[in-house]
């Protein structure tokens, strides 16, 4: 015992690779891969751009070749299942709902580092019935976090990688269910990178998981688990193709710079969401089981950003610092192609290429400017501010399963959730400055100096703020949800059918903690409460036709309450709800075919979904008004349809070939109404956004793969060739405003909006080769395995994984055409080149 | 078992460090080109005189093609949001505007900073007969004149010598006294207009708020229409009401000349440049 402990400690503490852990079932190494890649890649390419949200859906299945492989296989490209936003993908733990109540989607970082705990999952495709919910149109998953369900024994693993983290150590202890009825679990994971794959990024995360379970008797079992993933990491910013070209690197990152010779990143995320989950399983009788769970979590999320006042944006790839700001590289007949323009273009290009410092933030300059601000007795020119999104959540869920008879089953449940989101800004670093006031500097000049309109909080009179003080905005969002669902499933001959229904209620309210000068009557205190009643139903039919053929048909219709993070017109300023706030209506259908033969397994699906009356909300800089503004788009209609194919050929007992593919569409089918508030005036304006034809961004809508797998004699060799295409970038609503159409040259000869010319920016796809090599073996005590995973073996660098169109206009506020053409310069992210991870694990 | 957890936890916590606090770095030479040297120093008046044709003829400019330096003190910048993308510098002989395409110039070129400027490669010209240093710009009507230079280029062409040397503003006029300044010799200087009253005093704002780009000219009861205060809509004091009583107005006195009129435009650096006289 002592020796094992020492060995484990040594293994943890040093980077030397030891032998690894064997896996019981042939699939387990791949399972580990699943978890590795899913978690690794999503964290790798998580953007902290304000406009970008986490966009990975978690999907799985034991019998569907496509669904069971697609999450892992396409994760380097941040694939979204069916091009659907992850808020349609419901994640549960022990039957307790875990999606974020304000954003609607699940925060992957909630279970970051818990690779060993998230192996047991009941994955449900959109039209499969389950025991814990009536799920959304992108499927659902229920993780089992009961200590008795985790594999008994100890596991140690060490990994080295060149991804967003460099080193990972993991230790897990599971007692399993012991004879005294107790089961314990304890786990620690540590991930670190002084410098991640992208320069300027670092990673520092500790995950812990502790739990205990007691089988009281044959009927009752209670468990308590608590976990957390305190993380500190810095991020990569998207840049334009011009920026990547000048930097001669696809991992150019404009968010960092040198300070006193050390790398300092302006966008640092600190996140910690300690969670506790209490579960009571009650086996009422042999046919009936009740699972009740109560979860509580307090999430702390903080992200920093460089901000500026009475100055120019210091971001190193700000458009005014680009060569194409001086010489119009797009239009041959542009007047901005004089001799001097060309001189300036060359000078700027040479400046960018002259040194790395020229391409990054110049922190010493920011401090120097603030020194001058101190001498002049005025507010800092540059600060680092932090945006905080903290959450307190309590969720109670109770699910009942009752086997009525051999062929009929009834499941149902209720859940109640109470969520408070705390949103505010603090001063993180004054960068040597002495003064900064809680004043709306964007609106400076629109109102007299010292006027209340310029104060973020009239009650403090635009006071001086220090590091750590709240400023700019401070408000809470209260979201409560109640949900009841039931499913009746039955078998009749060769048919399995089910019918599900659910009904729910949501309330949303804002509570302002600052009296904003531009909304003095309407910012401090509680808003009204928006109440929504939603619900719907789903039905599915599975026909087992014999000889391995199965046909599935599913259809569902439900309404969904709008999300709290799109429900308010300008939550940083006032208590106003978005006008025309209403339920989103969702219709989804699917037809699937499965063939399971002796040596071939085929899954083929076609799906069609339609949503109506959706809402989106974006803050952005709106040039025409020379103001930062908050935009709400309502009346959004979308369609999702496509085909999915998964085929597995079992050539020999050891060798398999599989083929996956999807060609899909996920698009906006209607223009949307816009209502926006200008932060410098506090007044609303409306417009029409011609977004018909826009598509879901940041995911390949066409993705195909061929995989070769050889698993035998303890060896696991996999080679995957993947092809990705039709990757769209997030659209800019302002570029497609009706009021801006003439100025943007987006009107056809017949006077209509030119949708073709306003087509959405796309990213480059292509062919990517991935592989995995593993070996597992038994040793004297326990088992070891070594696994090497490689992604993008051909080192193809120009894969665009996503990005966004810039929201600024191609003309100035006074109507003059700019030299820099924003509409030709979307910001992009590129996939990593050859990267990999080597994991060595030992189980005993 | 407990021991191993404690050890591992302690190890993990010890290794995971919080983002440290950052100390103020060395900011000397953060801006400008420390390698610049004086090899051919001229006064601003000498430079203006040697390029006289180019600074006194509209749409005229010439490049400086050999090393030539001037030393001047920054008297005007964009700290108040009014003087956009330009600074005024002055020595004991004259003043000149340097046009640089960048916001927040006040952070690197504060008022009172004495700077050395290397003119070699830059252009001498004028905007409305106000002498300027910059690079050629062609407007939509096809006219070319000296205007805002590439800010990365500018960084190579100056060096800070010292701070806190702002001169006192020269008295341009006092009340109804006739002005004593010369449009050619004194254009761009820091000056003060004493004991004057605004024609629209107390009844209008310095510029037009919430109107996007634009500017406003304000006139004095004691002076002719050739003397005005010029304020940008982006000035921080744009929405403040101009005083109704007697004031002393300090600012950069730029020349603005058209075919019909030759006038003085006074640009306030900040609201403090307007002093109400008791």
Contact yes or no for B238 and A812 at CB 8 A = no
Q: Which residues contact B224 (CB under 8 A, 6 or more apart)?
A: none
Contacts of B3 in chain A (CB under 8 A): 5
What does the H/E/C string look like for A802-817?
A: EEECCCCCCECCCCCE
Identify whether the C-beta of residue A729 lies closer than 8 Å to the C-beta of residue A801: no
- Range from A363-377, B19-33, B210-224 carrying the lowest mean pLDDT: B19-33
Interchain contact B218–A (C-beta under 8 A): no
Per-residue pLDDT at A25: 26
pLDDT averaged over consecutive 10-residue blocks of chain A (844 residues)?
A: 42 28 26 31 28 48 85 86 93 96 91 85 88 90 94 94 92 95 96 92 95 96 96 94 97 95 95 97 96 97 94 94 97 93 97 96 97 96 96 98 95 98 97 96 89 95 96 97 97 93 98 96 96 96 92 96 96 94 96 94 96 93 74 96 97 95 97 92 92 95 97 94 96 93 92 95 94 94 94 94 91 85 95 94 94
Task: Decide if A451 and B103 are in contact by the 8 Å CB cutoff.
Answer: no
**Closest CA in chain B for residue A207:** B12
CB A318 within 8 A of CB A388: no
How many other β-carbons are positioned within 10 Å of the β-carbon of residue A822? 20
B-chain residues near A816 (CB < 8 A) = 140
CATH class of B170-276: mainly beta
Query: What is the predicted pLDDT for the residue at A307?
Result: 92
A 198-227 residues inside an 8 A Cβ radius of B: 204-206, 208
Q: Can you say whether the dihedral through the CA atoms of A738, A741, A747, A751 is positive or negative?
A: positive
Q: How many angstroms from the chain centroid is the CA of residue B164?
A: 16
Model pLDDT, residue B17? 45
Task: Residue A47: name the closest of A391, A226, A305, A365 by CA.
Answer: A305
Chain A contact set for B140 (CB, 8 A): 335, 816
Nearest chain B Cα distance for residue A296, angstroms = 24
> What is the distance in angstroms between the Cα of A130 and the nearest Cα belonging to chain B?
37
What confidence score (pLDDT) does residue B140 get? 85
* Closest CA of chain B from A211, distance in Å: 14
A701: exposed, middle or buried (C-beta count within 10 Å: 0-12, 13-18, 19+)? buried
What pLDDT sits at residue A76? Answer: 83
CATH of B41-162, one of 3.40.50, 3.30.1300, 1.10.287, 2.40.50: 2.40.50
As a whole number of Å, the CA-based R_g of chain A is 28
The residue among A194, A337, A340 with the most chain B CBs within 10 A of its CB, best to mutate, is A340
The residue among A420, A393, A220, A421 whose CA lies nearest residue A294 is A393
Would residue A373 count as lying in a domain?
Answer: no
Q: DSSP string of A362-417?
A: EHHHHHHHHHHHHHHT---SEEEEEEEEEEEEEEEEEEEEEEEETTEEEEEEEEEE
Q: Which residues of A touch B214 (CB under 8 A)?
A: 814
Q: Does B99 touch chain A (CB under 8 A)?
A: no
Please name the residues between 163 and 192 in chain B that touch chain A, using a CB distance below 8 Å: 163
| DSSP letter, residue A747 | B
**Token match 């600012």: residue?**
B251
Domain count within chain A? 1
Host H or E run for residue A24: none
Contacts of A186 in chain B (CB under 8 A): 5
Structural domain boundaries in chain B: 41-162, 170-276
Q: How far is the C-alpha of A638 from the C-alpha of A611, rounded, in Å? A: 5
**A534: nearest Cα among A190, A34, A136, A14:** A136
**B42-45 long-range contacts, Cβ below 8 Å, gap at least 24?**
B42/B68, B42/B69, B42/B70, B43/B70, B43/B91, B43/B92, B43/B93, B43/B94, B44/B70, B44/B72, B44/B89, B44/B90, B44/B91, B44/B93, B44/B94, B44/B95, B44/B96, B45/B93, B45/B94, B45/B185
- For every residue of A252-278, which 3-state class applies, written as one string? CCCCEEEECCEEEECCEEEEECCEEEE
The interface predicted TM-score (ipTM) is: 0.94
Confidence at residue A620, expressed as pLDDT on a 0 to 100 scale = 84
Dmax over CA atoms of chain A, in Å, equals 87
Question: Is the minimum CB–CB distance between B156 and chain A shorter than 8 Å?
Answer: no
Kindly report whether the global pTM for this prediction surpasses the value 0.90.
Answer: yes
CB A731 within 8 A of CB A758: no
User: How far is Cα B23 from Cα A259, in angstroms, rounded to an integer?
Assistant: 9
Closest residue on chain A to B104 (Cα) = A311
Is the Cβ of B259 closer than 8 Å to some Cβ of chain A?
no
From residue B177, give the alpha-carbon distance in Å to each of A179, B190, B193, B222, B229: 106, 18, 10, 8, 18
The pLDDT value given to residue A58: 60
Task: State whether residue B102 sits within 8 Å of chain A by CB.
Answer: yes
Question: In this structure, how many other beta carbons lie within 10 angstroms of the beta carbon of residue A274?
Answer: 15
Q: Crossing angle, helix A2-13 and helix B2-15, to 10 degrees? A: 10
| A579 touches B at CB < 8 Å | no
Helix (H, G, I), strand (E, B) or coil at A199: coil
Q: Which of B8, B21, B100, B135 to mutate to test the interface with A (most CBs of A within 10 A)?
A: B8
Provide, as residue numbers in chain B, all residues whose Cβ is less than 8 Å from the Cβ of A339: 136
Q: What is the Rg, in whole angstroms, of the alpha carbon atoms belonging to chain B?
A: 24
Distance (Å) from the C-alpha of residue B184 to the closest C-alpha of chain A? 27
Task: Please report residues of B whose CB lies closer than 8 A to that of A321.
Answer: 152
CB contact under 8 A, B107 and A311: yes
Domain membership of residue A671 as a residue range: 2-311+381-843
Closest CA to A38 of A94, A91, A88: A91
Please give the pLDDT value at position B218. Answer: 97
Q: What number of C-beta contacts closer than 8 Å exist between A and B?
A: 158
Chain B residues with beta carbon closer than 8 angstroms to that of A340: 135-138
Q: What is the largest CA-CA distance in chain B?
A: 95
Three-state SS at B196: strand
Can you give the pLDDT at residue A164?
A: 87
Question: In angstroms, rounded to a whole number, what is the distance separating the alpha carbons of residues A332 and B217?
Answer: 38
Cβ neighbours of B30 in A, within 8 Å: 362, 364-365, 367-368
State whether B236 and A449 contact (CB < 8 Å).
yes
Distance CA(A146)–CA(A125), nearest Å, equals 23
CB A662 within 8 A of CB A643: yes
Q: What is the pLDDT of residue B178?
A: 82
Q: pLDDT at position B176, please?
A: 87
pLDDT in tens, B108-129: 999 999 999 999 999 999 999 9
Segments in chain B forming alpha helices (H): 2-15, 44-50, 52-56, 151-155
| Averaged pLDDT score across all residues of chain B | 92
Restricting to B residues 3-42, those with a Cβ less than 8 Å away from any Cβ of A are: 3-5, 7-9, 11-13, 15-19, 22-27, 30-31
Q: Which of A821, A804, A824, A801 is nearest to A812 (CA)?
A: A821
Please, which residues bridge with residue B159 across strands? Answer: B116
CB distance B163–A444 less than 8 Å? no
Residues of B in contact with A680 (CB under 8 A): 210
Q: What is the CATH number of the domain that holds A616?
A: 2.40.170.20
What pLDDT does residue A680 have?
A: 84
Q: Which segments of A187-268 does DSSP mark as H helices, in order?
A: 241-247
- Cβ neighbours for B259, distance < 8 A, ≥ 6 positions apart: none
Cβ separation of A190 and B16 shorter than 8 Å?
yes
- In chain B, the residue whose alpha carbon lies closest to the alpha carbon of A679 is B210
Q: Residue B89 and residue B44: Cα distance in Å, rounded?
A: 9
Q: Give the model confidence (pLDDT) of B63-96 as tens digits.
A: 999 999 999 999 999 999 999 999 999 999 999 9
Closest CA to A656 of A586, A593, A711, A709: A709
A375 with B4: Cβ contact below 8 A? no
Helix axes A28-44, A65-73, angle to 10 degrees: 50
Q: How far apart are CA B267 and CA B250, in angstroms?
A: 8
With respect to residue A285, please indicate whether it lies within any of the assigned structural domains: yes
- Scanning every residue of chain B, which has its alpha carbon at the shortest distance from the alpha carbon of A432? B24
With a CB cutoff of 8 Å and minimum separation 6, the contacts of B11 are: A12, A13
Residue A687, CA distances (Å) to A19, A635, A674, A733, A749 in order: 63, 13, 5, 10, 22
Residues of chain A in contact with residue B209, where contact means CB-CB under 8 angstroms, are 445-447
Residue A172 in domain: yes
Asked if residue A358 is part of any domain, the answer here is no
Cβ separation B25–A376 shorter than 8 A: no
């Amino acid at each position: 015992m002592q020796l094992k402990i020492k060995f484990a400690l040594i293994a943890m503490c040093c980077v030397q690779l030891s032998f690894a852990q064997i896996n019981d079932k042939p699939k387990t190494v791949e399972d580990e891969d699943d978890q590795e890649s899913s978690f690794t890649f999503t964290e790798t390419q998580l953007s902290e751009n304000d406009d970008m949200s986490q966009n990975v859906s978690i999907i799985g299945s034991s019998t569907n070749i496509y669904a069971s492989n697609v999450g892992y296989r396409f994760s380097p490209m941040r694939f979204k299942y069916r091009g659907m936003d992850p808020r349609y993908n419901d994640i549960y733990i022990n039957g307790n709902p875990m999606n974020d109540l304000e954003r609607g989607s699940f925060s992957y970082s909630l279970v970051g580092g818990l690779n060993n705990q998230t192996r047991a999952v009941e994955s449900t495709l959109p039209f499969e019935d389950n025991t814990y919910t009536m799920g959304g149109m992108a499927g659902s998953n229920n993780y089992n976090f009961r200590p008795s369900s985790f594999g008994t024994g100890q596991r140690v693993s060490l990994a080295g990688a060149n991804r967003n983290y460099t080193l990972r150590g993991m230790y897990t202890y599971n007692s399993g269910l012991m004879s005294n009825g107790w089961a314990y679990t304890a786990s620690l994971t540590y991930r670190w990178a002084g410098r991640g794959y992208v320069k300027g990024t670092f990673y520092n995360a500790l995950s812990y998981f502790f739990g205990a379970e007691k089988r009281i008797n044959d009927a009752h079992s209670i468990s308590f688990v608590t976990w957390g993933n305190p993380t500190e990491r810095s991020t990569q910013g998207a840049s334009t193709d011009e920026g990547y070209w000048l930097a001669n690197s696809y991992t150019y990152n404009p968010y960092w710079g040198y300070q006193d010779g050390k790398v300092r990143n302006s966008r640092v995320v600190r996140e910690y969401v300690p969670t506790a989950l209490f579960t009571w399983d009650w086996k009422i009788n042999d046919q009936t089981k009740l699972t009740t769970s109560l979860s509580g979590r307090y999430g702390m999320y903080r992200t920093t950003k460089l901000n500026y006042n009475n100055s120019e944006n210091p971001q190193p790839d700000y458009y005014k610092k680009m060569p194409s700001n001086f010489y119009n590289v797009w239009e041959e007949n542009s007047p901005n192609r004089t001799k001097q323009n060309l001189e300036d273009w060359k000078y700027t290009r040479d400046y960018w290429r002259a040194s790395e410092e020229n391409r990054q933030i110049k922190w010493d300059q920011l401090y120097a400017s603030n020194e001058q601000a101190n001498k002049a007795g005025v507010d800092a020119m540059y600060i680092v501010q932090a945006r905080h999104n903290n959450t307190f959540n309590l969720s109670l869920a109770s699910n009942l399963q009752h086997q009525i008879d051999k062929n009929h089953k009834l499941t149902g449940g209720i859940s109640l959730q109470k969520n408070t989101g705390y949103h505010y800004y603090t001063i993180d670093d004054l960068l040597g400055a002495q003064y900064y006031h809680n004043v709306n500097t964007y609106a400076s000049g629109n109102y007299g100096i010292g006027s209340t309109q310029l104060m973020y909080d009239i009650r403090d009179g635009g006071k001086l703020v220090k590091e750590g003080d709240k400023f700019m905005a401070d408000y809470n969002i209260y979201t409560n949800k109640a949900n009841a669902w039931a499913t009746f499933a039955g078998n009749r001959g060769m048919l399995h059918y089910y019918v599900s229904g659910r009904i729910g209620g949501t309330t949303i309210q804002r509570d302002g903690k600052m009296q904003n000068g531009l909304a003095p009557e309407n910012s401090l205190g509680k808003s009204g409460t928006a109440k929504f009643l939603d619900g719907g139903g789903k039905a599915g039919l599975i026909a087992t036709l014999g000889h391995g053929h199965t046909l599935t048909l599913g259809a569902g219709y439900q309404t969904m309450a709008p999300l709290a993070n799109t429900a308010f017109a300008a939550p940083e300023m006032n208590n106003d709800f978005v006008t025309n706030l209403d339920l989103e209506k969702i219709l989804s259908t699917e037809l699937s075919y499965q063939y399971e033969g002796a040596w071939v397994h085929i899954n083929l699906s076609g799906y069609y979904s339609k949503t109506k009356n959706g809402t989106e909300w974006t803050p952005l800089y709106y040039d025409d008004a020379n103001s930062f503004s908050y935009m709400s788009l309502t009346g959004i209609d979308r369609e999702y349809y496509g085909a999915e194919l998964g085929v597995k050929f079992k050539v020999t007992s050891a060798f398999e070939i599989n083929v996956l593919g999807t060609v899909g569409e996920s698009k906006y089918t209607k223009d949307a109404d816009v209502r926006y508030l200008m932060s410098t005036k506090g007044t609303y304006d409306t417009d029409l956004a011609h977004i018909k034809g826009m598509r879901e961004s940041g995911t390949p809508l066409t993705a195909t793969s061929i995989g070769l797998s050889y698993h035998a004699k303890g060896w696991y060799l996999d080679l995957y060739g993947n092809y990705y295409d039709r990757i769209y970038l997030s659209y800019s609503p302002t570029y497609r405003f009706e009021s801006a159409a003439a100025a943007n040259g987006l009107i056809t000869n017949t006077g209509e909006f030119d949708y073709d010319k306003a087509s959405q920016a796309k990213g480059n796809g292509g062919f990517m080769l991935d592989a995995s090599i593993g070996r597992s073996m038994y040793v004297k005590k326990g088992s070891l395995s070594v696994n090497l995973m490689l992604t993008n073996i051909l080192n193809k660098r120009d894969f665009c994984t996503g990005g966004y169109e810039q929201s600024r206009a191609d003309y100035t506020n006074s109507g003059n055409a700019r030299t820099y053409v924003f509409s030709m310069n979307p910001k992009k992210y590129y996939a990593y080149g050859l990267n990999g991870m080597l994991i060595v694990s030992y189980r005993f | 078992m407990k021991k191993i957890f404690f050890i591992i936890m302690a190890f993990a916590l010890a290794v995971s460090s919080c983002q440290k606090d950052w100390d103020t770095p060395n900011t000397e030479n953060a801006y400008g080109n420390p390698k610049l040297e004086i090899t051919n120093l001229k006064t601003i008046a000498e430079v203006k005189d040697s390029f006289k044709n180019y600074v006194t003829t509209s749409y005229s400019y010439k490049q400086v093609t050999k090393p030539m330096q001037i030393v001047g003190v920054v008297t005007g910048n964009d700290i108040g949001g009014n003087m956009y993308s330009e600074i005024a510098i002055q020595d004991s002989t004259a003043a000149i505007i340097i046009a640089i395409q960048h916001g927040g110039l006040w952070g690197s070129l504060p008022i009172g900073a004495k700077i050395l400027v290397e003119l070699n490669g830059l252009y001498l010209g004028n905007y409305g007969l106000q002498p300027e240093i910059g690079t050629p710009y062609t407007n939509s009507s096809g006219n070319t004149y000296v205007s805002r230079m590439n800010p990365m280029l500018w960084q190579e062409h100056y060096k800070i010598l010292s701070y806190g040397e702002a001169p006192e503003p020269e008295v341009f006029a006092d009340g109804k006294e006739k002005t004593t300044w010369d449009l050619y010799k004194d254009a761009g200087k820091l000056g003060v207009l004493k004991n004057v009253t605004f024609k629209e005093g107390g009844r209008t704002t310095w510029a037009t708020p919430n109107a996007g780009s634009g500017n406003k000219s304000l006139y004095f009861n004691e002076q002719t229409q050739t003397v005005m205060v010029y304020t940008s809509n982006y000035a921080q004091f744009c929405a403040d009401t101009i005083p109704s009583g007697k004031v002393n107005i300090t600012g950069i006195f730029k020349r603005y000349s058209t075919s019909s009129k030759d006038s003085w435009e006074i640009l306030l650096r900040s609201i403090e440049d307007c002093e109400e006289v008791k």
